[in-house]
Amino acid sequence: MPHSQYLPDKMGTATISPGGEFEAGSYQSFTLTYTAGHFGIDDTGSIKIVHRFASDMGRPQFDVPDAPNYVTVEASNGAVLHVEYDMKRNIRPWDKTLYVKVVRGFLREGDQIVVQFGDMRFGSPGMRLQTFCEHTFEFRVLVDAIATYNYVELPTQPEIAIVPGPPTHWKAILPTGTAVGGRFRMCLKGEDRWGNPSNRCDQKFLLRANMAVDGLPESVSLTPGVFSAIVAPLLVTVPGDLVIELLDQNGNFVAASNPLRVAPEPELRPFWGDLHGQSEETIGTNSARDFHMFARDRAFLDATSHQGNDFQITREFWKELNELTAEYNEDGKFIAFPGYEWSGNTGLGGDRNVLFMDEGRQIRRSSHALVDDLSDMDTDATSAAELFNAIKGEDCVVFAHIGGRYADIRMAHDVRLERSVEVHSAWGTFEWLIEDALEQGYRVGIVSNSDGHKGRPGASHPGATKFGAYGGLTCLLATELSRSGLMDALRRRHHYGTTGCRMVLDTRTTFEREAEKFMDDPNLGPSASDRSVSAMMGDIVKSAENEVAFSIDIHASAPVERVDIRNGLECLETYRPYSEAELGRRIRVIWEGSEYRGRGRETVWDGSASLVANAFERVSPINCYNLDKKFALFSGREVRWQALTTGGFGGFDAWLADANSGALRIDTALVKAEIPINNIGREDRVFEAGGIRRRMRVFRMPDVNQNRLVRIERKIRLREQGDNALYVCLTQEDGHLVWSSPIYIFR
């Protein structure tokens, strides 16, 4: 145990009032009463009230009584107390600490310290609760009764339940691919304003499809007490791309499903996974069992993997995780990979994720930092190089991750194991990681996952903390939904990553003459190969041709803003599916990038944009998930916002009263600019701000963009030396990004 075990029953008690269930993200007021035990609390002794690292409850403040999150602390006997709040004053995962020290006087048994979280007596609206659900949200109390700064946890901790609010938006989820005549289902759910699946739904929807669907009812209902509705079995008898719309009772559009591609004989089928997340046993929220249940039954994933920080995984928890993956794994329905996050210090290689084919494998921890049982320390691998050496014979795959620590793949990489890099998670977007790999000549695929800490794998809304992005998803193109099928897709890089959307993406090259396509990377030694006139994302191909045809087939879940076509580190073309003639009164303002690679990467973009001799008719934010961050239009001439980025982007669209008059003024700490409106066109106006791709961009778009289906073919001239890594980065109009894994072609 991380704290003293000395006589916890004599250290007092703590209660919380009121108790019960409270809506996620709501404002509430709670009274926590600590009653001193046998020892009281001596002069300079203290208590800590701690919350999990993952919690995004409002930050306590003590100075503005009529503002949110106002906290007061009093001693019943008049002792003078010193109160501080620190985000990291206790042992993880219970980092966030309200520290209360007795600085004049002392407490006897029965004396009390009364803490009012969200004290409303002076006008505060209360404490803004955590924005995500938790069955047992604890106000964990630790006591230093004898003034040694050696804390004892109380044996019974005060807790409440945080539950979803009413639905504010709706999601209809289809598979992304199926065969003609194949049976499938549609999953429907409502989410509250913070992205929690809601069981407070009471809604009937009419259903409208763009093609004939056998088994599709006229309507479907979500009723109070349930989290979802499943419509099945469904069947389509002709090829095409299916989209199902939800309409209200008056026939008005409410939401649309992601596209489902129905093909006569698909070579591979797309399966969606979030292969990286944590639960309360490490640094996340809710249990590991809840984690797997949510992935399967709330996010409607096909696959997941619990990836706890290795230095928090005890032998007992590792055994439990293996039992859970064995229980939840079911071929054809849901795949659960056993695995963990190797969480080495940055200077020793940084974060990696290990996914095993089977249970019962040895965990190779980066350290025993939070594992007290040191009897298996000899199994540790304290550097990335040691990790790769230790697992070289394992049936597993590894991908590089950017979290608090970042993976340094220039320092350590093993092509036998590390088949992919994670370019996006809830921590942000990190295209520099694939660029690091390409610079080194590595042949890796691109994955996106959540590393979610909020108990929502596969639907990982960032909430109100410094997680700067919605969690990602990986689409695995596999022969079957099984561990072996998905593992083969990972090893062959047959996958693409998104920032959380589900859409259809196919990239291929075709050759005039048959090329040699390898079953595995020939850099590893002799590899089986066959002759082919085509290759898909992830393939490694040897060709004698000077140029190839590169085709891109997209059916997006929102209109397409642009497609960047890349050969390794070079962007060959930025394709936009609309012409100059289609541009209208809509301008887009984007802020993006990060400070640097490490933990302090957050960039604050708080600022405003105003118009001179023109007006905003309306504005719409992009990737503004944190409802605590204000975004507002004032008097039709000024937009003000609070925003931050951690590698990804945010921004807004603005429809102008006049397409060409006046000027746009931008005012942020990093960028200040004035741009004549008639100088804003289809191409980006870029304002650099240092850091890593830290900048603002301004450009013009059509008033309405209908382009969800995009098909492009380009002739790409191949370089003589090294790999031609052909891939795309797609930007949807709604702010989602999608990356294909590269096709690697060498001469």
Report pLDDT digits (tens) over 44-88.
999 999 999 999 999 999 999 999 999 999 999 999 999 999 999
How many distinct helices (H) and strands (E) make up the chain?
Answer: 5, 57
CA–CA distance, 461 with 472 (Å, rounded to integer): 10
What's the average model confidence in pLDDT over 490-505? 98
| Amino acid at position 542, single letter | K
In this predicted model, what pLDDT tens digit does every residue of 595-610 receive, in sequence order? 999 888 899 999 999 9
Q: Which residue has the tokens 């026939």?
A: 251
| Amino acid at position 14, single letter | A
Q: Which residue has the tokens 């960039």?
A: 603
Query: What is the CATH code for 169-262?
Result: 2.60.40.1930
The secondary structure of residue 544, as a DSSP letter, is: -
486 near 445, Cβ under 8 Å?
Answer: no
The secondary structure of residue 654, as a DSSP letter, is: E
CA–CA distance, 447 with 334 (Å, rounded to integer): 19
Q: Which of 53, 31, 34 is nearest to 466 (CA)?
A: 53
pLDDT band at 265, cuts 50/70/90? Answer: confident
Q: What count of other Cβ atoms lies within 10 Å of the Cβ of residue 69?
A: 21
CA–CA distance, 666 with 611 (Å, rounded to integer): 9
CA–CA distance, 598 with 410 (Å, rounded to integer): 16
Q: Is 237 exposed, middle or buried (0-12, 13-18, 19+ CB in 10 A)?
A: exposed
φ and ψ at 491, to 5 degrees? -65, -30
What's the average model confidence in pLDDT over 488-511? 98
Q: What count of other Cβ atoms lies within 10 Å of the Cβ of residue 257?
A: 21
φ and ψ at 20, to 5 degrees? 110, -150
Output the six-digit token pair for 56.
């995004």
Alpha carbon 174 to its chain centroid, in Å, reads: 20
Question: Average model confidence (pLDDT) for the chain?
Answer: 97
Strands (E) in 252-356, as ranges, are 253-256, 260-263, 269-277, 303-306, 335-337, 339-342, 352-356
Query: What is the CATH code for 269-500?
Result: 3.20.20.140
Question: Coil, helix or strand for 150?
Answer: coil
In this predicted model, what pLDDT tens digit does every residue of 160-173 receive, in sequence order? 999 999 999 999 99
Q: What count of other Cβ atoms lies within 10 Å of the Cβ of residue 728?
A: 23
CA–CA distance, 62 with 274 (Å, rounded to integer): 40
| Amino acid at position 98, single letter | L
The secondary structure of residue 176, as a DSSP letter, is: S
In this predicted model, what pLDDT tens digit does every residue of 468-481 receive, in sequence order? 799 999 999 999 99
pLDDT band at 109, cuts 50/70/90? Answer: very high
Alpha carbon 167 to its chain centroid, in Å, reads: 21
Rg (the chain; Cα; Å): 27
What's the average model confidence in pLDDT over 700-724? 97
Q: Is 26 exposed, middle or buried (0-12, 13-18, 19+ CB in 10 A)?
A: middle
pLDDT band at 743, cuts 50/70/90? Answer: very high
Strands (E) in 155-202, as ranges, are 159-163, 169-173, 177-179, 183-191
Q: DSSP labels for 681-709?
A: -SSPEEEE-STEEEEEEEEEE-SS----E
Output the six-digit token pair for 338.
């056993």
Q: Which of 314, 304, 306, 303 is nearest to 287 (CA)?
A: 306
Domain 503-577+707-747 class in CATH: mainly beta
Q: DSSP labels for 343-402?
A: ---GGGT--EEEEESSSSPPP--S--TT----TTGGG---SHHHHHHHTTTSSEEEEE-B
Instruction: Tell me whether strands 495-498 and 737-740 are parallel, antiparallel or unpaired.
Output: antiparallel
For the chain, what percent of residues have pLDDT higher than 70? Answer: 100
What's the average model confidence in pLDDT over 383-400? 97
Residue 467, pLDDT score:
77
Q: What count of other Cβ atoms lies within 10 Å of the Cβ of residue 517?
A: 22
Which residues, at least 6 apart from 600, have a Cβ–Cβ distance to it below 8 Å? none
Domain positions in the chain: 8-163, 169-262, 269-500, 503-577+707-747, 583-701
The secondary structure of residue 10, as a DSSP letter, is: G
Q: Which of 241, 72, 723 is nearest to 437 (CA)?
A: 723
Output the six-digit token pair for 470.
């919605």
Residue 673 has pLDDT above 90, yes or no: yes
Alpha carbon 166 to its chain centroid, in Å, reads: 23
User: Could you check whether 269-500 and 503-577+707-747 share the same CATH topology?
Assistant: no
CA–CA distance, 64 with 67 (Å, rounded to integer): 6
In this predicted model, what pLDDT tens digit does every residue of 7-55 receive, in sequence order? 999 999 999 999 999 999 999 999 999 999 999 999 999 999 999 999 9
442 near 466, Cβ under 8 Å?
Answer: no
CA–CA distance, 291 with 298 (Å, rounded to integer): 10
pLDDT band at 1, cuts 50/70/90? Answer: low
482 near 468, Cβ under 8 Å?
Answer: no
CA–CA distance, 205 with 213 (Å, rounded to integer): 17
Q: Which residues pair with 73 in a beta bridge?
A: 115
CA–CA distance, 418 with 421 (Å, rounded to integer): 8
Handedness of CA 84, 87, 88, 91 (dihedral sign): positive
374 near 335, Cβ under 8 Å?
Answer: no
End-to-end CA distance of the chain: 59
What's the average model confidence in pLDDT over 410-430? 96
629 near 692, Cβ under 8 Å?
Answer: no
Handedness of CA 364, 366, 370, 372 (dihedral sign): positive
Question: Coil, helix or strand for 5?
Answer: coil
Which residues, at least 6 apart from 469, have a Cβ–Cβ distance to it below 8 Å? 424, 425, 426, 427, 428, 429, 462, 499, 623, 625, 646, 647, 648
33 near 19, Cβ under 8 Å?
Answer: no
Residue 110 has pLDDT above 90, yes or no: yes
Q: DSSP labels for 520-581?
A: S-GGGS---EEEEEEEETT-EEE---SEEEEEEEEE-SS-EEEEEEEETTEEEEEE-SS-GG
CA–CA distance, 463 with 452 (Å, rounded to integer): 11
Output the six-digit token pair for 694.
């830290």
CA angle in degrees (0–180, nearest 5) for 413-415-417: 90
Q: Which of 58, 142, 60 is nearest to 101 (CA)?
A: 142
In this predicted model, what pLDDT tens digit does every residue of 619-632 receive, in sequence order? 999 999 999 999 99
696 near 671, Cβ under 8 Å?
Answer: yes
Q: Which CATH architecture has domain 8-163?
A: Sandwich (2.60)
